[in-house]
Amino acid sequence: MFESLKKKFSRTSEKLEEELIEEAEAEDNLKEESGSRFSFFSFGRKKEEKKEEAEEDDDNLLPQAEKSVEEAPVEEETVEEVPAVEESVEEAPEEVEKVKEEKKSRFWSRSKDDEEEAPEEVEEVKEEKKSHFWSRSKDDDKQEESGDEEDSEEAEEEKKSHFWSRNKDKKDDSDDEESSGGIFSFVREKTIQEKHVEDILFELEMELLQGDVAMEVATDVVESVKENLVGKKIKRSNDITEYTYYALKDAVFDIINIPGKSMTEMLEEKKAQGEPLVVMFVGINGTGKTTTIGKLANYYLKKGYTPVIAASDTFRAGAIEQVTHHADNVGVKIIKHQKGSDPAAVAFDAVEHARAQGKELVLIDTAGRMQTNTNLMDEMKKIKRVSKPDLVIFVGDAITGNDATEQARKFNEAIDIDGVILTKADADSKGGASLSIGYVIKKPIMFLGVGQGYDDIMEYDSEWMLNQLFSDDGEIAEEA
């Protein structure tokens, strides 16, 4: 899904990396290091994995470091015992000498026995004894202090080794995600300047326009990316991928995240008031408007609501039969008049029926019309005046790209629409309409049609859309 936009985003990252590496090479400011090079799409996922694992390592490693630091001062107790020995020397020097000789003989005999059986353990004992000996010297305070620092440094080194070994263990699950080697670092830190991104972002803007992204949207994306990238300091080539990834992601999220209430939220509010939610659908012929009404009736029927459909497209031949077919298939009531009758009267009757029967949702089908047809647009305004809908939704075809965006703009100017439903989103390889339409008219996308069956519709979620645009997984994600 949205393969065209994905390629453009990835290509922008690659070109910026090439630009900076070439410049660094010319400046003799480049060195190659071992490691794994992240691809654009795996970068966000890998960063999250590394963050979680680093947190786990912090939990495991830091307590050990603290423990070793806390245990280090224990030797102070042995230091305090030394004066006691000196006093005993003064009182009974001969007895003390005997004790010393006895301890010495025991130590060396034990060392010889241990050396034959386990030479490694003997070495450890010797080292331990040596450390005890030095801790009893006059400079004992200094030795303990430096010992504490060494323990902390060892813990830090252990933590670092865990971090880098973890990267080695997780090497190359897939060639698409990352490749070993090929990581470059800069001897002197580089700063991304405007000259580095100027040509690259111009190309990105042209490619977005070719992908059916609206002009104002493409310009805003490019400006946002430029603002986020210029001035960033980089040390490694993976930093370029990181900054480009997040700069593009932030820019796109600002475009697709148009605030607004969902239809389900509004339905609950109206239900609490004891009134039906009245929704009027507009758009041109052939966008899947009538089929979408059938899908929505099925969607809310399964959620426990009772919809009713108004067949207010009384002009197009076969329109009433078509919407009746969908109503029968999903099992909802349809309100209809004769062909050629007043469409506003049909809508009014459907609303009154819903109120009388305690039904929560009225879905009004209207005749498809071109945004330039003044007479039909006036008829649509009349339906709106009579039925007083809570929502006017424009239904657009995602694969028509910029045409859908322009149609939505014209309908919004004529009748003030409240939201958008995009059909055929599963077949939209470019993604231009999905990226542009809400931002251009400043109204939210409410649903996406993702197939031909009655269940193939999902409530729009900007986070889901963002994941689709910045993931190499081409499958449609299930609605959460």
Q: What's the confidence (pLDDT) of residue 205?
A: 92
Report the alpha-carbon distance of residue 58 to residue 242 in Å, rounded. Answer: 23
Report the alpha-carbon distance of residue 130 to residue 367 in Å, rounded. Answer: 95
The answer to whether domain 3-34+181-256 has CATH 1.20.120.140 is yes
pTM, whole model, 2 decimals? 0.68
The stretch 462-476 carries a mean pLDDT of: 73
Contact 381, 416 (CB under 8 A): no
The stretch 26-48 carries a mean pLDDT of: 68
φ, ψ of residue 153 to 5 degrees: the values are: -65, -40
Beta bridge partners of 393: 281, 419
Which of 319, 320, 356 minimizes the C-alpha distance to 336? 320
List, in sequence order, every beta strand (DSSP E) within 118-195: 178-180, 183-191
**What residue spans define the domains of the chain?**
3-34+181-256, 61-166, 263-469
Q: What's the confidence (pLDDT) of residue 143?
A: 47
List, in sequence order, every beta strand (DSSP E) within 366-430: 391-397, 419-423
Q: What percent of the chain has pLDDT over 90?
A: 36
For 217-267, what is each residue's pLDDT tens digit? Answer: 999 999 999 999 999 898 887 888 888 989 999 999 999 999 888 999 999
3 state DSSP class of 184: strand
For residue 346, what are the contacts with CB-CB under 8 A and spacing of at least 6? Answer: 310, 311, 312, 314, 335, 336, 337
* CATH H-level, domain 263-469: superfamily: P-loop containing nucleotide triphosphate hydrolases (3.40.50.300)
Report the alpha-carbon distance of residue 36 to residue 413 in Å, rounded. Answer: 52
Instruction: Locate 382 and state its tokens.
Output: 């009349």
pLDDT band for position 1 (cuts 50, 70, 90): low
Whether 263-469 and 3-34+181-256 are alike in CATH topology: the answer is no
447 Rama class: left (phi>0) / alpha (psi -120 to 50) / beta: beta
Q: Which helix (H) or strand (E) holds 428?
A: none
Sheet order of strands, 30-33 included:
30-33, 183-191, 233-236
Contact 225, 204 (CB under 8 A): yes
Report the alpha-carbon distance of residue 308 to residue 306 in Å, rounded. Answer: 7
Higher pLDDT, 118 or 368: 368
The stretch 337-343 carries a mean pLDDT of: 91
Report the alpha-carbon distance of residue 274 to residue 221 in Å, rounded. Answer: 44
For 78-94, what is each residue's pLDDT tens digit? Answer: 444 444 444 443 444 55
Report the alpha-carbon distance of residue 305 to residue 295 in Å, rounded. Answer: 14
- Looking at every residue in the chain, the average pLDDT score rounds to 76
